[in-house]
Amino acid sequence: MTSFSPAPGTSPVQGLHHLTVMASDPQRNVDFYTQVLGQRLVKVTVNFDDPGTYHFYYGDRTGQPGTIMTHFPWPGARRGVRGNGEVVALAYSVPAASHAYWQDRLAGHGLNPTASTRFGQPVLTFEDPDGTWIELAFDDGVPVQPWPASPVPADHELRGFHSVTAWVRDTDAVRQLLVGQLGFTEVGSEPDPEGTRTRFRGSGDGVGLFVDVVERPGQPRGTFGAGSVHHVALRTRDDAEQEAYMASLSEAGYRPTTVQDRQYFHSIYFREPNGVLFEIATDAPGFPDDEAVEELGRHLKLPAWFEPQRAQIEAHVPRILNREYGVTIGGRDLNSQTAPAEPEADGQGVQVLTAGRPLADARVAMVLLHGRGGTAADILSLEREFNLSAFTYLAPQADGNTWYPQSFLAPLAQNQPHLDRALATIDAVMGELAAQGIPASRVVLGGFSQGACLALEYASRTSERLGGVVAFSGGLITLDQTGDLSGTPVFMGVDPRDGHIPLSRFEETAATLRARGADVDARVIPGLGHTINADELNAARAVMQGIAGAMG
């Protein structure tokens, strides 16, 4: 049986903090959560990884942890497909006596909820405008701070979160995390139309206590898009406990990110083996930190580091109406926008796989190059590790799973014409991105091993300034290029004993790029092996955030 042995400085996790979902139309999203569900729009800000995109927070009067539903609306985004490896539903707690009220209210808005019973409690399930499953669990949960301007009478208002439901291949992997690492208690299991549902309870006594997991072995993974849950956040009491959890999760192999400042809380992110993305978020400082409680949701709020770009950001984000106050926010008219078609290949017959933000809605991109014997699908899986929703990711597939036949240190002629073809493939992908409105300056080119060598070589030769270069275990193929690389951020990492990338060549590469003006972060990492570790992923993420944050 899985048991909890608290790591030093930690206590059992209380429960849910917030849920973050991708949406499409921003006005439709605001209207549904405020006018249909009666939630308060407690904060209008931007995606800190992509300040041209809104981030909406809905909850009770002050946005207490355990009440907050958040959305990134990407206009025109394709709808996601539910599947394993993700949270598929959020349940709100509702007074038991409000069952008939909510049935009538939902029907009046054209929604047709499905009734069921779960662990002895009545549940209504329906879809929001983007297809996210929203559920009402009638359980007389703990009251939250009422929102007097809600269109829902106080006696029937939602009482914060009840639970989330995740679909997974293997429940035990989630059990090891929730019970073994985070101190949840296993409540029990029952049959579900999709498999076996197991419930886990946090240690708190307020709202948002439950994580349900439905085991669906052999079923396909979800496809991220509008209506998909990006991550579920769990509560931690303060920064010190979050740091302790980061250390214990790292030791257990979950590879959490470094702490991310989200202005209203601090966050770390990690995935469990099924692929569900979790966050651990602090309760403080909270949403009234930068505006009075009475003003929450009335204005577009930006962190200090984006304030110099306020005029540009306000002009770019779509115009929305907050009907709670009758105020308009943002300046761009969505009706005047047209989205380009999304390509599936680079025009030369080379397969290009994509992930992340739909290309038609993206302004920044990462092109990933796999190593010898690897595949585009392998390298594209890094998208889930980077966890940066602003980016579209493209990964071309090399013929025969190799870009060129010999070592990158072999005489150049021995790798021709394959090397030139590989460089031309990247050039074609870059051309497609430029045609879709994403110039080279907004593209990070990355790769592993042979792909890292190819990425560095392309960056060395191209006449276009790239937004950044990430080379996991790689070096330059040629050292005689002379173009100006002033200001180009480059991250490189290698094990000093790597049998494929000699340390001397790695150091020569870094020196050559610096001499040409590149801003090089070159790290020699003992014990790395020929692989990628969490520190390298964080360094690559910093390069990516640099160009996303500069967009405004």
Question: Beta partners for 321?
Answer: 328
- At 230, the pLDDT band (50, 70, 90 cuts) reads very high
Res 50 pLDDT > 70: yes
- Residue type (1 letter), 95: P
Interior angle at CA 316, CA 314 and CA 322, nearest 5: 55
Res 374 pLDDT > 90: no
Q: Taking the CA of residue 27 as centre, how many other CA atoms within 13 Å lie in the half-sphere pointing to its CB?
A: 14
Q: Looking at residues 309-314, what average pLDDT do you find?
A: 89
Q: What is the DSSP string of 496-508?
A: TT-SSS-HHHHHH
CB-based contact 457:409 (threshold 8 Å): no
Tens digit of pLDDT for each residue in 257-277? 999 999 999 999 999 999 999
Please give the pLDDT value at position 346. 37
Q: What ranges in 153-267 are assigned the alpha helix state H? A: 171-175, 239-251
Please give the pLDDT value at position 341. 34
Predicted TM-score (pTM) of this structure: 0.73
How far apart are alpha carbons 451 and 85 in whole angstroms? 28
Res 396 pLDDT > 90: yes
Sheet holding 195-201, edge to edge: 114-118, 121-127, 133-138, 86-94, 161-168, 210-215, 195-201, 185-192
Q: Is the preceding omega at residue 256 within 30 degrees of 0, hence cis? A: no
Please give the pLDDT value at position 320. 94
Lowest model confidence (mean pLDDT) among 49-53, 315-319, 325-329, 447-451 = 49-53
Please give the pLDDT value at position 361. 82
Q: Which residue has the higher pLDDT, 410 or 1?
A: 410
Tens digit of pLDDT for each residue in 273-310? 999 999 999 999 999 999 999 999 999 999 998 998 89
How far apart are alpha carbons 309 and 148 in whole angstroms? 34
Distance from the Cα of residue 328 to its chain's centroid = 28
Please give the pLDDT value at position 334. 57
Q: Both tokens of residue 280?
A: 């651990």
Residue for token pair 């275990």: 473
